[in-house]
Structures are given as C-alpha cells and as structure tokens.
Amino acid sequence: MQTQKPAIRFVLFVVVILAILLFLISVMLMVPGRYTDQLLQQIENQTGVEVLSVEKEYSFLSGKFLLTRPELRISPGITLKSESMAVNVAWTSLWKETIELDRIDFKKPGIFIDLAIIGQKPPMPNLYQFLRETEQFVFEDGSMKVVNTEQTGSSKVVSIDFSKMELKTHRPDQIDVEVVRESSHIKWSLGGIIDLKKLALSGQLSIDELPLADVVSQNFLKCSNCSLEGRLSTDLSVEWSGDQGVELTGTAKVLDGEYHDLSSGLELSWKELFAEGFQFRCRKGSVEDLSFRGGLLTVKGSPLEQIAKTLNRSLPTDGSVPFTLKNIEFNGAIQSSQKQNRKLFSNSRVELAVMSPEQYTFQLAGQWLERVPVSLKGSVDLKNAVTSRLNVTARDVDLSLLPVSERSVAGYDLAGSRVNLNLVSSAGGGSKGKLTFSKLVGRPVEPELDINHVKALMANPQSIISIDVTDRDGLSPQVAAGTATREAWESVLEQPLQYLSNQAGIKPILSGDIQMPSGKAVLTEYDKTQLKGWGRVLRIRPELGLSLKAVASKNQDWPSLSRAELESNLAELYSAIHQTKPGEVKEIPADVRGHLIEQMYLRAHNRTLPEVGDASQSKRIKEAEQWLLVNWPANQEKMNKLATDRLNLVYDFLRSEGVSEKRIISSPPSTVEQAGSAIEVQLSY
C-alpha cells in the first residue's frame, strides 16, 4: 500500500495536467470562433468604440488579440481603418468583467476626422474612459485626414502621412501625443498634450525637412498660377481647439527655394528664407518679417512694378488667400530677363513694407550693373499710380564703371568722372532731381562743345557741378541723367550770363556792357550794380576770369568832349580880348559868346557871315554852335585818356570787390567810331 501511494499521486498529477491541457486546447479551439466574437463584443461594450466585422484571432502565448482590416467608429466625426489592430489582452483577464487594455497597436492606419461633427455631437459612451484607461496607442505607417465640412470652399484642413504616432495616458484627462515622419526627403515630428476635458491640443511641431510642395498641398500656402519649390525647416508651437481651429506660431525657414509667377514671368530663387513672426490661424496666416538670403530675382520690365503686381495677386483684400506680409527683406542679385546685360543689381538689399495689398514702401541698396553703388527708396500704390514715388540715390559713382555708351555725353567719354545722383520719380509727374559732379573729366571723342568752358562756368569753389534733372518721358535714371547733362551744358554755353546770374542770385541779369555817361569816366549806380554782380560771380566760379575792353567812341563820347573843347576855346578867345588868364574867366556874356561862336564858325568856313535873310541872329548862332560841336576836330589825346580812365576806374572797382588782378585781363584802351558801351566785359576761361 505504501508503494502504491506515490504511484497513485503520480497518476493523479498526470491526469490533472492532461485535463488542463485538454481545457487549454478546447479553449484555443473555441477562440477563433464564438469566443473571439464574445471578446470583441466585450471590448466594444467596454470602450464605446464600434468595430465593424473583421477577421480576428487571439493568441494565449502572446496575449494579443489581432484584428485584420478593422474599421473603427471611434466617435461621431472620427473613424479609423487599419491593415491590422493588435490589442494586448492578458488571458488571466478573459474571465473578468473588465478587460485590462494596456496597449493597442495599429498597422498602416487611415484616420479620418471631421471637426464639424466633433464639435456638434457628443462622443461615444465610455470613449474618454477608454482613452484614460488604455495606457498606450501605437500607430505605424499611417495617414490622417482632417476636414471641416462646415467651412466654405475646400473642407480640407490637413492631410498627413506619418511613420509612427504614439498616444500615452500618464495623467487623468490628458494624453501625450507624438507623431513622427521620416523618409528620404521628409523629416518632421509633432509632440504635445491633448486635453480631453477641453478637447484641445497644445504642442510643438519640429520640421527638419519638408518639401514646399507638401505645404502647398495642405493649403498652408496658396500658389495659384505659379510654382513653388524648396525645403521647409522650422519649429512651431501648435494649438488646436474645436472653437478656434489650428494655430501655428513661430519662425519658419525655407532652404534652396524657387518661386515662379507664371502670369508675370517673375522668378525668385534663394539659399535661405526666414519667416519671423509667422502665424497661421483660422486658415489665415501672417508673417511679420520675410527675409531672403542669397537671392536671385529675375524680372521683366520694371522690377518694382512687377514685384508689386505679383504681391497684389498673392494678397487680395477679400481674405481668400491664407497669408499676409508686413515686411520683406531681400539680399542678393536682381536681373532682367529682357536685357543683354542681365544683371541689374548685385549685392543688393531690398526692404519692402506692405502697408496694404495695394500700397508698399521700399528701400534698395546695391551695386547697379554689378559696379555702381546706388540706393532706391519710395512707395508704390497700385490703385493710384500718381501717388507712387521712387527716390534713386547714387553716391560717389566712378563713371568708369559704366559702359562707354552710357558714360558718354556730347562727344566726351566721362571715364574718371565721379557723380552723385538723387532722382525722385512718380508715375504722374515724371522725374525730378539733382546730378552732381564732384569731379568732371572728359576725353574728347567727337566733341560737340568745349567741356573746359562748361567746367569754368559750372564748377563751384569745391569743383562741384550740379545739374537739375527733369524727365517726363519715362526714361531710365541713367538716360534721364545723361540727357539732362547734355541739355544743361548746351544751355549754359548758349546763355552763360543768364546761368551765372541765376547761380549768383543777381537781378537783373548780368550785362557785358558798362555804359558810363557820355564823355566821362564815371560809374552810374547801374554800372556799380553790374560790377558787383561780376565780382560775386567770380567768387563762386574760381575758374572764370574777366576780359575788359575800354573805348572812347566818336559817336557817343566826342560830342561831349567837343563841347568841352569849344567852351575852352571860347574862354581862351575871351581872355585874349580882355587880356586876362583863361582860368580867371568865370562867365562870358551871352552877346559876346554869340559873336565869338559866329567868328569861329566863319573862320572854319573861311567865309563871311551867313546872309541875314529871315533867320534871326539867335537862330544863326545856334546853328553855328551845333555845327561846331559836330565838326570840331577830335582831340585824340583826350579820347585816349577817357578810355584809359574808364578802364582804370572799372579795374579799381573790381579789385575793391575782392577780384584778384590775375583774373582781370584788359585790352589796351582805344578810340573807335561807334560803340555800344564804355567798357565791354567778357568772360575769360
């Protein structure tokens, strides 16, 4: 009996083991059928999630309940289809009222969310409890499409593919979410927290690399009738709620980008693009500062007009397009697709401030034609072109940098000249401004005028020449400046006195004639004013001199001198008759004076007195005196002295006005038959 007891115990042990094995085998045989249906039904009741008919199986060894191609109706507005769904269910909990779900895995899930339905209908029963109690959800190689069927236009909000998404429940009413996408050309991640009570998401979106084509496809950027390429890299904060929708804020960066406007032909490429103050909310976005680095802008026609029209198409006032811009900065080169010399500006910096979709202010500094430093400043108004302004500034430009054809004026090559240009242009008022030569050098090629005369007339004491630029024909700044230079030179050479008078502020304008009273070396007040004006001109034009030519004319000066001669001779005759000195004769009686005049007349004619006839004695004396004044022999010595005295008088006056003697050139005084003035003043160069 004692030996039988161990045997009996062994047999009983074997029987129990066999019973257990048979039980397990029976259960395993049941699971694929009725038992798995019961398990699925229990999970649906517990979670509130409806799972449509699928293939299913349960493994006691791994504890996994596997559903093949399931479709889950998680809540109104949320559905999920997946290639497979694996639920960790411990076999020890199969006979409990509540199944413990610690992890659910989805392979290649497709998630569809309608925000309009989520906001209007309550969630499925037990959904939040299901989310709270299940510790981890893992989605691999899936996609998510979010729509809002209530919004006008496209209902699409966002559609993404992801490599992995994890939902973890570590805190009541909060779910940690992490979404990752990794492929050969797309790398990004989203991490954040879902608040189940507020039904809101708060997190961070980190994009290492994302093609702009994907961003355009999500309607975050609209590119109508255009193409857009590049790689997006950014860190953005993400906020979402049922009431406010999606909000993205932060700084975005686009590398190696290209933009082509198919309507205008404008092309833009860049190495780096920074979007500071980026915000996207309620399907509308804004950027405070958009900055391009290493850019190349290719335009047709006017760069500013084309840029403005391109922006206007991208920023309509009806709000149909997501983005608005406030400030744009461009660093790079600007070129024309229509010119043989394509480069317009190199090493340029453009700042554009968007006041409204139709109004812009701008500043540009760069190298025009890759050589000439210039700056532009102004405004553009697409609704009222008359108010648009452009201020062109070029400082200390060496004209040697320009092509020969663009630096030649009036047959002179101005290589080596240095200029400053300030030109203000408007669509309705043409262009106005100043062109200043700080240095004027001209090599004659086919000269049409004397550039040395131009320099002497126009250069101030600092050797600066200023020219007013006015253009109403829509010429380019360089053409307008060249045209104004030629016209100014020609005008100055044609009317030098008027130009110098304007420059010196002299009214009336300078005259080359110093009149003086007939027969005298005396300056009138008008003559003094003119000479003071000449002195002022010489002070502001250091390369100019004056040439003086003094004359005594027989037609103007001799009548006055002849009267003096006649009176002197009459005094000599009277003093001889009365045996006194001529200087003591103070007055000759009228009858004696008349008698002496008649005697002088008769002696000149070598004949007797005119017949009395009907003429009175006084008339005969008057006629005789008039004849003597006209025909009395000229005293050449006195005429020469008059001319010399006049020259010395003007010379001394100019010296008193501070004019250097080296700048006064005088011809020898002379006597002429006729003259329009006592002193002729001419410019000397």
**pLDDT band at residue 318, thresholds of 50, 70 and 90?**
very low
Tell me the backbone φ, ψ of residue 485, rounded to 5 degrees: -65, -50
Percent of the chain with pLDDT over 70: 83
pLDDT at 530: 95
Tell me the backbone φ, ψ of residue 407, rounded to 5 degrees: -115, 10
**Is the pLDDT confidence value at 501 over 80?**
yes
Distance from C-alpha of 104 to C-alpha of 96, rounded to nearest angstrom: 19
pLDDT at 69: 92
> pLDDT (tens digit, 9 = 90+) per residue, 169-189?
877 788 899 999 998 889 999
- Residue 149: count other Cβ atoms within 10 Å of its Cβ: 10
Please, which residues have CB within 8 angstroms of residue 509's CB and are 6 or more apart in sequence?
497, 498, 501
Q: Which part of the chain is CATH 3.30.1330.60?
A: 513-554+638-684
Which of these ranges, 319-333, 398-412, 495-509, has the smallest mean pLDDT? Answer: 319-333
Mean pLDDT computed over 134-146: 90
pLDDT at 105: 92
Which of these ranges, 561-570, 582-591, 600-609, has the smallest mean pLDDT? Answer: 600-609
**Is the pLDDT confidence value at 30 over 70?**
no
> pLDDT (tens digit, 9 = 90+) per residue, 506-560?
988 999 999 999 999 999 999 999 999 999 999 999 999 999 999 999 888 888 8
CA distances from 594 to 23, 428, 570, 614 (A): 176, 79, 10, 18
**pLDDT band at residue 264, thresholds of 50, 70 and 90?**
confident
pLDDT at 303: 65
pLDDT at 443: 94
Distance from C-alpha of 51 to C-alpha of 33, rounded to nearest angstrom: 17
Distance from C-alpha of 194 to C-alpha of 179, rounded to nearest angstrom: 13
Mean pLDDT computed over 196-201: 84
Give the tokens for residue 172. Answer: 């009541």
Which of these ranges, 1-10, 43-52, 665-674, has the smallest mean pLDDT? Answer: 1-10
Residues 89 and 101: beta-carbon distance below 8 Å: yes
For the chain, give the mean pLDDT: 82
Which of these ranges, 19-23, 355-359, 482-486, 531-535, has the smallest mean pLDDT? Answer: 19-23
pLDDT at 366: 82
Give the tokens for residue 457. Answer: 């007339």
pLDDT at 4: 55
pLDDT at 236: 92
**Is the pLDDT confidence value at 606 over 80?**
no
pLDDT at 561: 86
Residues 628 and 600: beta-carbon distance below 8 Å: yes
- β-bridge mates for residue 328, sequence order: 290, 352
**What angle in degrees, to the nearest 10, is found between the helix axes of 590-605 and 558-577?**
110
Mean pLDDT computed over 113-127: 72
> pLDDT (tens digit, 9 = 90+) per residue, 413-439?
999 999 998 888 776 667 789 999 999
**Is the pLDDT confidence value at 26 over 70?**
no
Mean pLDDT computed over 205-219: 85
**pLDDT band at residue 54, thresholds of 50, 70 and 90?**
confident
CATH entry, 513-554+638-684, from 3.30.559.10, 3.30.1330.60, 3.90.1300.10, 3.50.50.60: 3.30.1330.60
Who wins on pLDDT, 335 or 371?
335
Half-sphere exposure of 117 (CA within 13 A, CB side): 16
pLDDT at 420: 92
Mean pLDDT computed over 396-410: 88
- β-bridge mates for residue 444, sequence order: 412
Tell me the backbone φ, ψ of residue 426, rounded to 5 degrees: -140, 155
Give the tokens for residue 408. Answer: 């030649």
- Residue 552: count other Cβ atoms within 10 Å of its Cβ: 28
Tell me the backbone φ, ψ of residue 322, rounded to 5 degrees: -60, -40
Residues 677 and 523: beta-carbon distance below 8 Å: no
Half-sphere exposure of 435 (CA within 13 A, CB side): 26
pLDDT at 118: 74
Strands of 148-183, DSSP E: 156-171, 174-182
**Is the pLDDT confidence value at 1 over 50?**
no
Task: Output DSSP code: residue 127.
Answer: H
**Is the pLDDT confidence value at 317 over 50?**
no
CA distances from 585 to 580, 581, 594 (A): 8, 7, 16
Range among 1-5, 96-100, 508-512, 547-551 rated most confident: 547-551
Distance from C-alpha of 653 to C-alpha of 524, rounded to nearest angstrom: 12
Who wins on pLDDT, 73 or 192?
192
Mean pLDDT computed over 126-140: 79
pLDDT at 34: 63
Mean pLDDT computed over 113-141: 77
Give the tokens for residue 495. Answer: 């009317």
> pLDDT (tens digit, 9 = 90+) per residue, 438-447?
999 999 999 9
Mean pLDDT computed over 611-620: 65
Who wins on pLDDT, 154 or 375?
375
**Is the pLDDT confidence value at 139 over 70?**
yes
Distance from C-alpha of 237 to C-alpha of 248, rounded to nearest angstrom: 6
> pLDDT (tens digit, 9 = 90+) per residue, 629-667?
777 766 788 899 999 999 999 999 999 999 999 999 999
pLDDT at 282: 74
Range among 210-224, 455-469, 562-576 rated most confident: 455-469
**pLDDT band at residue 403, thresholds of 50, 70 and 90?**
confident
pLDDT at 7: 61
Distance from C-alpha of 377 to C-alpha of 106, rounded to nearest angstrom: 59
Range among 188-192, 387-391, 559-563 rated most confident: 188-192
pLDDT at 31: 47
pLDDT at 378: 78
pLDDT at 228: 86
